[in-house]
Structure 1
């Protein structure tokens, strides 16, 4: 790791706007981390990526949800101000084996409330992406997004 790495700017970018080579580089790293490929050559061959392309980008690409480092996420929610909505959210969190660390809720205005949850997800039974999909499908949840991780 380069000493001047701390001087870089970092960006959070949606996957659908990234070049295919960047996405495949991240997926190669995931295959290796999960043991679904035993070496770089096997992983790049599975994904149809040139080894040289992988080595070009590997030190600058990391998945946002790196299982080795992700333990706490912060979720921002916009909820309808209707009885039981926050309860459904918390029941989903508990059913997936995540643990609530903090809850911050604004006063409801115009029929909606902003809620921020800090969650420990070390034992969560689904991926963070699947968790977000489930949250966004709950009745009364207008929007759910990850706003931070540690």
Structure 2
């Protein structure tokens, strides 16, 4: 699985001008299930993100995890993270998981974060979403379970 994580002061996702998720300080997590991903990748990615120390401590150092600051997660499905731009100017997305599998793993990923004690809000899988955020820092981090054993 792949994720683009942004430390935010606030973030919101809307579908047809209806708010489906909104958070204050925390993480906006854009997530994409790739072909062949299983629940194990979703669990590994969620656990890694929950422990990511990218929030400031008293000394101003990035030394705190999201739970340490009482933050929340806004999880948004983002199949375009699977973009292959190696050929031509039009990206291909054939390495993304099929929609039904992508949705199942997206929901599982969100539920793992909840199980770790984090408040989680969501976008709407497969919808045309409008995401707004205030990136804090800015801090933006790319993670891919394929990059680690």
Q: Same fold (TM over 0.5)?
A: no
Structure number with the higher strand fraction is: 2
Structure number with the higher helix fraction is: 1
TM-score range (shorter-chain normalised) is under 0.3
Q: Which has the higher contact order (CA 8 A, sep 6+)?
A: 2
